[in-house]
Structure 1
Amino acid sequence: MRSNVANLWRKIYPEKVDHFDKLPEEIILSIFNRIGNAMALRRCCAVSRRFHSIVPEVDHVVVLVNCVTLEKEKRELASSSSAAAAPHHRIASFFCIFFSVLFKPLLSLSQLIIPSARLLPLLKEEEEEDKTVSLRSMTQILKNFNEIKRLAVELRAGEVRIEDGILLKLKAEYSSTLESCVILGATSVNCSCDDDDDDDGADMDSIHESFYSEDEGLAQRVVWIVNSLVAASTRHHLLQPVIAAHKSLERLVLTDADGQGLLSMDKEQLKEQRARPLNMSLSSKRTVVPSLDVQLWYAPRLEMPDGVVLRGATLIAIRPSELPREGAMPVGSESSWAEPEGNWVVSAFEGPYGDVARMLVKERIYSIDINAF
């Protein structure tokens, strides 16, 4: 009789089955790799002991960083500490002390019960809200991942300040020093129906000659080059603690939310980075930019097939001077460098930006030498 009642009870109130627990660890790890976001994975660690043991094995991690330079981070830390040091009302101070004494033992007990609380430090409320971390927090968070092979770091915005309406894109590759950098820029981007065609009847040679003298000509392009190289070398320096701590890294990409700049390092470049010491600048805030060979293509007006018109369209290819000459830099105004594949200049950008690059390499080439700085 009792067994019949028990069976009836199970039919009415069946035991809850967690089907997720039946999944093998390989599938859960694959799901975590697709999530990628370090902050989301950090929260998954606190769900269960099983998740806590699987998350450190994730090999594809994405981190959103809100502080680009150490100076910004120091200013934010100083402002937060000064705000914390501001005088409070006596009653408020009393309650703060009372609740800290009351809940501190409970927090310590939770750290003994839940290993993830001991492994992963608590987040600030503001970091949880916008899902971004500071540079210092990023280094601490990534210590909890043991098998990172691909790391993507995304900054809130680019560091190269430009005026409204100016197009500027850059892609840099690094090992222990700069290996290559490609910059694509334009002083304005308009629809062909809104573009002024006064220059269409002008002599092209006279337009190119004006490139050397106008304020928005060569001088502006040199500013783009220098600012882009300083930003890239600063980012490269800030990534050194992460590169040193994670020997398993095979791919590292640092970009920004607005898509202005991208810095990448593959497996061989990361290996070479660890084997050779960095050449630091005098300020020790960035790695030294070596002596460079620069090729520059310029078109005063470039009309795309879709009707978009770029004014002052410029493509800049940069390589260190000490690299072997064969294939290091493009030669000639119209050559194989105009092909969509087989060269690092044209393939640096995708989509419509790649189309612009393929059109620009057919233009006249300007050469520039830049000393190390």
Structure 2
Amino acid sequence: MGVEEFSKQQEEQVDFFDSLPDAIVLEIFNRVEDAKSLSACTLLCKRFGDLVTQTRNVSLEITRPTALYEKTHVSKSKGFFGRYILNPIHEFLHRIVSRKSKTCSNCCDDDGEDSTFKLPNELLKNFKEIQSLSVKLPGHHGDISSENALQQSSQPNCSGALLKWKAEFGKELESCVILGATGFKKSEPKPKKEGDMPISCNLTNKQLKKRVVWTISCLIASSARHHMLKQIISLNRMIRDVKISDGSKQGTIKMTERQVVELRNEMSSNADIVELERTKVPAVTIKMWYMPMLELPECGAVMRGATLAVIRPTEAAAGKDDDLSLAMGAFGEKCMVEAVRKLIEKKKSYTLEMNSF
């Protein structure tokens, strides 16, 4: 073997990634963000294991226990290898997952949420210096969000319902914005006939009760997620901002650095606050806009029973007149922004008050 050939072979064996400075490797890990991928990196070498613990930006997607079976389950294999090796392995995995699912089902709360994904701290134990955390919870089949609403509306004789919300908390609820509709579908231009009667823009008692139910369910969901944030923040002392969303893209709870500091100080002065089942919702004032039929020409859609609710604690609601900026900043999708703007442009609104619960 010549000198040139030996040198070339040595160069091919050099691990250039291993020669990168720790600061660059750490920056790469911060851009990866995914907690499961980063946790896998800790098994590669001691250096990666040490650097992963210093990752500042982490995102965590929590899946349902049945996801393992859904990923491993395939149709029955034929042939000797499939019949006597693959199929028995699949059946074994199926039994394990089924047994686990039955056990987990005994731990479900009233909302049907599995306690196995209520506490993600176990999955975050490899990270000691998290500053920005994003958690995505599993979506529910019954969730009604903008994404599956449009999918449902594409089916014959079906228009998907819509319910989205975003809440912000410090030590308690600061604001919540809810956008809902009993129908959400692509618009079809229809010529207006002479003599058509205008649709009433007033809410009936039945319609109002439905929207109160929407509001209560969203507030309960947000307060339950805030309880999860208390547990995360209590065990991760360097967190500055955190967000919890869900796979259905229905609801989001977000906390900025100021709000995290406020909550951490509250927990330091009250050791029992983390033990509560969920954060108590204070007495709130709800400002609500409603339109029976809302045309959205910019995104080519129409909402039936379109409703926007801006919710604030009653004590802080007085003098607040920034409903438009608060609601406009709640949702990122083009259709949602257009709907919020058009609803608030409608001058008439309802004001409701709700006691603490």
Any runs of at least 4 consecutive aligned residues in structure 1 with deviations exceeding 6 A, and if so which? 194-200, 278-281
Deviation of the 1:241 alpha carbon = 1.7
* 2:295 equivalent in structure 1: 303
Deviation of the 1:322 alpha carbon = 1.3
Deviation of the 1:324 alpha carbon = 5.7
Moved more, 271-280 or 168-177: 271-280
Moved more, 237-246 or 144-153: 237-246
Asked if residue 59 in structure 1 is aligned to residue 49 in structure 2, the reply is no
* 2:162 equivalent in structure 1: 167
Aligned pairs for 1:71-86 within 5 A: 79-80=99-100
Q: Distance in 2 between matches of 1:321 and 1:67?
A: 37
* 2:157 equivalent in structure 1: none
Q: Counterpart of 2:233 in 1: which secondary structure?
A: helix
Identity of aligned residues (%): 33
Asked whether the equivalents of residues 119 and 228 of structure 2 are also in contact (C-alpha less than 8 Å), the reply is no
Counterpart of 1:372, as a letter, is: S
* 1:356 equivalent in structure 2: 339
Asked if residue 367 in structure 1 is aligned to residue 357 in structure 2, the reply is no
Asked if residue 345 in structure 1 is aligned to residue 338 in structure 2, the reply is no
Aligned pairs for 1:122-137 within 5 A: 134-135=116-117
Deviation of the 1:223 alpha carbon = 0.6
CA distances 1:255-300 after superposition (whole Å, capped 9, x unpaired): 011210000001010111111147999x942111100000000011
2:6 to 7, 10, 14: 10
Asked if residue 188 in structure 1 is aligned to residue 183 in structure 2, the reply is yes
Counterpart of 1:152, as a letter, is: S
Deviation of the 1:345 alpha carbon = 1.9
* 1:146 equivalent in structure 2: 128
Asked whether the equivalents of residues 41 and 49 of structure 2 are also in contact (C-alpha less than 8 Å), the reply is yes
Asked whether the equivalents of residues 285 and 317 of structure 2 are also in contact (C-alpha less than 8 Å), the reply is no
Q: Counterpart of 1:361 in 2: which secondary structure?
A: helix
Select the structure of larger CA radius of gyration: 1
Q: Distance in 2 between matches of 1:353 and 1:147?
A: 35
Asked whether the equivalents of residues 301 and 311 of structure 1 are also in contact (C-alpha less than 8 Å), the reply is yes
Asked whether the equivalents of residues 160 and 227 of structure 1 are also in contact (C-alpha less than 8 Å), the reply is no
* 2:83 equivalent in structure 1: none
Counterpart of 1:355, as a letter, is: E
Counterpart of 1:49, as a letter, is: K
* 2:78 equivalent in structure 1: none
Deviation of the 1:161 alpha carbon = 4.6
Q: Counterpart of 1:30 in 2: which secondary structure?
A: helix
Asked if residue 321 in structure 1 is aligned to residue 304 in structure 2, the reply is no
Asked if residue 201 in structure 1 is aligned to residue 196 in structure 2, the reply is yes
Aligned pairs for 1:225-236 within 5 A: 225-236=215-226
Q: TM-score, normalised by structure 1?
A: 0.71
Q: Counterpart of 2:201 in 1: which secondary structure?
A: helix
Q: TM-score, normalised by structure 2?
A: 0.74
Asked whether the equivalents of residues 118 and 228 of structure 2 are also in contact (C-alpha less than 8 Å), the reply is no
Q: Counterpart of 2:204 in 1: which secondary structure?
A: helix
* 2:264 equivalent in structure 1: 274
* 1:19 equivalent in structure 2: 16
Counterpart of 1:57, as a letter, is: Q
Moved more, 195-204 or 242-251: 195-204
Counterpart of 1:183, as a letter, is: I
Aligned pairs for 1:16-55 within 5 A: 16-55=13-52
* 1:259 equivalent in structure 2: 249
Q: Distance in 1 between matches of 2:218 and 2:142?
A: 6
Q: Counterpart of 1:249 in 2: which secondary structure?
A: coil
Deviation of the 1:190 alpha carbon = 2.2
In the alignment, structure 2 segments of 5+ residues that lack a partner are: 66-95, 104-114, 153-159
Asked whether the equivalents of residues 234 and 286 of structure 1 are also in contact (C-alpha less than 8 Å), the reply is yes
Q: Distance in 2 between matches of 1:142 and 1:182?
A: 30
Q: Counterpart of 1:188 in 2: which secondary structure?
A: strand
Counterpart of 2:120, as a letter, is: M
Change (3 A) 1:12 1:18: closer
Deviation of the 1:78 alpha carbon = 11
Asked whether the equivalents of residues 295 and 329 of structure 1 are also in contact (C-alpha less than 8 Å), the reply is no
- Would you say how many aligned residue pairs link Structure 1 and Structure 2? 296
Q: Distance in 1 between matches of 2:284 and 2:124?
A: 34
Q: Distance in 1 between matches of 2:42 and 2:308?
A: 46
Asked whether the equivalents of residues 280 and 286 of structure 1 are also in contact (C-alpha less than 8 Å), the reply is no
